[in-house]
């Protein structure tokens, strides 16, 4: 049985490109275009990994979704990787390196947009084997 990945991002081009990469790597992929749709798909799809955008319908939608996932006893152990273009757009470094930062932000890793297929593959492999 292949591992399942949920992609949550309101950018359809980003979702389609990365879904194709992940499917070619042998993963089963579901997509959602909003935080609420992501939460709904999470319940039915039961992914092994969630890759979610930081800014979707609201600037903090990714934070809200990650918090809901990580504070729910049924989903708290699912690895979360947040993707963002904050650095490119604001030149701010956006990462969680310490345990305290990860606890506050509620994600396991970060990827900076645009994501190369190699970086996506390496990140997915890091969190699900």
CA 22 → CA 51, 97, 124, distances in Å? Answer: 11, 26, 9
What does CATH list as the number for 4-127? Answer: 3.40.50.2300
Please state, in angstroms and rounded to a whole number, the distance separating the CA atoms of residues 56 and 62: 7
pTM assigned to the model: 0.85
Q: What digits encode the pLDDT tens for the residues 34-69? A: 989 999 999 999 999 999 988 777 667 778 888 899
Q: What digits encode the pLDDT tens for the residues 102-121? A: 565 677 888 888 899 999 99
Note the pLDDT of residue 103: 60
**Mean pLDDT, rounded, of the chain:** 85
The whole-number average pLDDT for the span 70-95 is 76
């Amino acid at each position: 049985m292949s591992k399942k990945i949920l992609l949550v991002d309101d950018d359809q081009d980003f979702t389609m490109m990365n879904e194709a990469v992940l499917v070619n790597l042998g993963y089963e992929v579901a997509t959602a275009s909003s935080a609420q749709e992501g939460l709904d798909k999470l319940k039915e799809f039961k992914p092994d990994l969630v890759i979610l955008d930081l800014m979707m319908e609201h600037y903090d939608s990714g934070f809200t979704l990650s918090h809901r996932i990580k504070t729910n006893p049924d989903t708290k152990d699912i690895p979360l990787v947040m993707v963002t273009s904050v650095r490119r757009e604001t030149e701010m470094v956006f990462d969680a390196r310490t345990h305290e930062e990860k606890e506050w932000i509620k994600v396991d890793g970060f990827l900076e947009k645009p994501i190369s297929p190699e970086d996506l593959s390496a990140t997915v492999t890091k969190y699900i084997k």
